[in-house]
Amino acid sequence: MTNNDILKKLRVALMLRDDEIVEILELVDFRISKSEIGAFCRKEGHPKYRECGDQVLRNFLNGLVIHLRGTKESPKIPREVLGIKPKKSNKPVQRPKPDFKKSDLGPVKYKNKKKS
């Protein structure tokens, strides 16, 4: 798997746009343009394809950590950054008990269906 594949897969998995990737890279003081990000995400045979170097991927991953976790001074909750809703609990729902007993309803009568 190449650096370009890793960058593309993270971009899709985290639903990042090119401008967001540029902002993430700026968190670690790494300047790059949106067009260069687009060149990294092209197919290998495309004329404007460009290989993503180790330095670019390393800085992107370091910036992604800061983007998701925050810094020691201002930590973040990754679920909120990614927009993930909290999971529902598996606890059963407490329903209120009825005010009456089954015996209060009286006998249950069923109608017999006629066979045709």
Best CA proximity match to 50, nearest among 9, 11, 3, 12:
3
Q: Are 35 and 20 in contact (CB under 8 A)?
A: no
CA–CA distances in Å: residue 71 to residues 37, 42, 108:
25, 32, 67
Higher pLDDT, 104 or 75: 75
Q: Cα–Cα distance between 8 and 17 in angstroms, integer?
A: 11
Task: Evaluate if residue 98 carries a pLDDT over 70.
Answer: no
Task: Evaluate if residue 107 carries a pLDDT over 60.
Answer: yes
Tokens of 49: 């394809």
Q: Are 40 and 74 in contact (CB under 8 A)?
A: no
First to last CA, the chain: 68
Q: Cα–Cα distance between 87 and 90 in angstroms, integer?
A: 9
**Type of residue numbered 87:** K
Give tens-digit pLDDT for 20-49: 999 999 999 999 999 999 999 999 999 999
Domain ranges of the chain: 3-82
Task: Evaluate if residue 116 carries a pLDDT over 60.
Answer: no
